Amino acid sequence: MQFQTKDKALRILENEHRYLTYLMDEWHEIILNFEHDIYDETTGREAFQTLRKQLIAFIDPLKNHTEKEENYFFPLLGQYIGLEQGPILSIEEEHAEIDAYIGHFLHHTRMSLDTLSLADMKALVKDAGEAFEVLTVHFVKEESVLFPMAERMMRETDKEKLLEQVNTLII
């Protein structure tokens, strides 16, 4: 795997994107199967339950990663480019959008899944699909816009400080 960034702190965040993408790929396959009408009601319900479990397991690593960005990376980069408008603001809005899609899916699936029809499951899976789409584009934006910007603009002392702050596990 080739890293796009040379900075150690940013490599940690980039590597976390790779891990989160790996987890996302596991549940995205289920979404695609729903979209392509692969399931009948029985296999759909089993897949739906698996999707729900995988999304629940995905929340903690995702939250741990986004907290690192929001608590350390964005404020530090914001000292150079500002926080009130521009790329950091839009990235933070995407964090909220991702949370909303996953939260909406989980909220509407907290009851007994036995009562859901295949059509109901297919409709609810759209939230997980939207979360996947936003996350995929989101990671690309961070890696192609914010990370290069940080590498160019941030002072070495700030890069070292960021490395200390983000050098923790997300799992």
Which pLDDT belongs to residue 111? 84
CA distances from 3 to 8, 18, 58 (A): 10, 10, 23
Q: What is the mean pLDDT of residues 109-120?
A: 90
Who contacts 159 (Cβ-Cβ below 8 Å, separation ≥6)? 7, 8, 9, 150
Mention every residue, 6+ apart, whose C-beta is less than 8 A from residue 119: none
Look up the pTM and report it.
0.93
* pLDDT confidence tier of residue 4, bands split at 50, 70 and 90: confident
Domains of the chain in start order, with CATH, are 8-166 (1.20.120.520)
- The Cα–Cα gap between 48 and 52 comes to 6
Residue 2: pLDDT over 90: no
pLDDT in tens, 25-69: 999 999 999 999 999 999 999 999 999 999 999 999 999 999 999
pLDDT band at 115 (very low <50, low <70, confident <90, very high): confident
Q: Is the pLDDT of residue 20 over 90?
A: yes
Give the closest residue to 51 by CA, choosing from 33, 37, 31: 31
What's the sign of the alpha-carbon dihedral 78, 84, 89, 95? Answer: positive
Percentage of residues in the chain with pLDDT exceeding 70?
A: 99
